[in-house]
Amino acid sequence: MKLLGVISLILILGSQDLGGKVSKAVDVFWIPPGVETYAPVTASNIEEEAFKIVHIRDRHQREEVIDLIRNSERATDAKRIRIKVSYEDKSYNFDSDGIGISSQGERVQIDLKRFKAVLCE
């Protein structure tokens, strides 16, 4: 009986992220940045048009993805969205150059080379 209690405690503690950084899965909707499409891919249709959807549950990998997102001064090309990163109540849409906009309207960017490495692309 004690063993069952210890296992339950381990499972509960193991499912919580300490430090409170990114606590839920990160979803990535992906069209390779170099791919040109016939119709524009926008923030409103990237989820339907995505070639691949990746659900990242590993805490370290989730934090790596979120840490790659930086502020930017550049404006995104709203008709060439290739990547959407979504977690908790936030999302980011990135164009084929890695320039993006957050769901709160912030201009952001992501290092596409490092992002692909984290996703094992």
pLDDT digits (tens, 9 = 90+) for 73-116: 999 999 999 999 999 999 999 999 999 999 999 999 999 999 99
Cα 51 to chain centroid distance, Å, stands at: 15
Q: 77 near 97, Cβ under 8 Å?
A: yes
What integer is the mean pLDDT of 27-47? Answer: 95
Question: Would the pLDDT of 9 be above 90?
Answer: no
What integer is the mean pLDDT of 11-35? Answer: 68
105: left (phi over 0), alpha (psi -120 to 50) or beta: left
Looking at the chain, the whole-number percentage of residues with pLDDT higher than 70 is 81
For 16-55, letters b (16+ CB in 10 Å) and e give eeeeeebeeebbbbbbebeeeeeeebebeebeeebeeebe
**What's the CA gap between 59 and 16, in Å, rounded?**
10
Please give the model's pTM, rounded to 2 decimal places.
Answer: 0.80
Average predicted confidence (pLDDT) for the chain? 85
Question: Would the pLDDT of 67 be above 70?
Answer: yes
Residue with tokens 């805490």: 59
What is the number of residues in the chain? 121
